[in-house]
Structure 1
Amino acid sequence: MDTRAMFSLSYGVFIAGVEEGGRKNACIINTAVQATSNPLIMHVTMLKSNLTTQMIRKKGSLALSVLSLDCPLSVIGDFGLRSGRDHDKFDGVSCSLDGNGNPYFEQNTAARMSMNVSTMIDLGSHCLFIGEVTEAERTGDGKPMTYADYRTLKSGGTVAAGETKPPQKRWVCSVCHYVYDGEIPFEELPEDWKCPVCNQPKSVFVLEG
């Protein structure tokens, strides 16, 4: 089975936040889906071992921030690659609180919503939360970031409104870091061609991207 096929599914990039026992925590998730419109029900899937997940299971509610394309990758790193068990993720971070006291973000987001959990399903490695949306509002005009956008940006690519461009391959001088941008394909340059900056031979160039 080729599990890479699963990357064809569409995912978003969200921050799930919760306050429980006087402590705030949040983490990056990629699966949050509207299930019905009347009543307004959505479901969220989270890694069961995450501290945020365990806090949501205790409290029974969460706040969801929909990240937009202008969100710095450092924010995703802070909330997705660090554990709240070892760091206070909200130290020096500005956030707002919903009616349940759960934290959400207005900057670098497209929308935010709050959910009261009515059903929790153990999926093995993950936990599925199902519940009614109690608050929802647009927080910005930016395009919501998809997980495909995130993977492209992380790899050095660019993402325009409505279009994702993969990182471009480029030939870079390993000595002076000059990037070849000539009209002739690099592979077709003569073997005696040299870097116009440091005068090193073609052989020192490496393909990046």
Structure 2
Amino acid sequence: MHPSYQPARRGRHRKAPQRQWLPVGIGMAAAAVVSSLLTAFVIITTLASKFSAKDSVYAVGARAYEVKPQRPRQQVFTERAAALPVAAFASDGSGFVDSQARCRDTQTARAIGRTEGSLVVICLDRTGRLEYHGERLSDRAALATSADATPGRRFVARNYQVSYAVSPTELLVTSGSSVLKREPMVEYREILSTPVVVAPR
């Protein structure tokens, strides 16, 4: 005998859980945002460390340009001197101090003059003889020679063929009829009264 046919019972079958997938575009966008944030953080940190240095260095391509901090300009204020300016060439009763244009110990100054390029002094000794003492400022060359008083408050000294004429207005250097040098006086002092020096007997 064959068993009776029994139809299969239909029961409820559980469906397998469906996997949930995030859209591919959203995942890639999130990764790009994270990468951008990390890159920005690294760049900001690097720039901050560079700017904290004393001298900043900016890298442009393959070259580096150093930018040094500018120092504030110092303002110079000129104050007016209350006292008179000190003379560049000090002089006394014997001529110019620390100069070849100066009388000897046995002489007194008769006239003292200064030009832009020369110092001159006419000295008087105990015998009444005049002497010229001059110094050229450019090379400190000195000349001492006898001199004579001439009309018009002039003193003339001669050295070979060259004459040196000293007056309140100028120092005139000539050779014959040729003018070698003409220098206007910047300072001139004439000592009219001189102490009487008795020559030793």
TM-score, normalised relative to structure 2: 0.21
User: Which one has a bigger Cα radius of gyration?
Assistant: 2
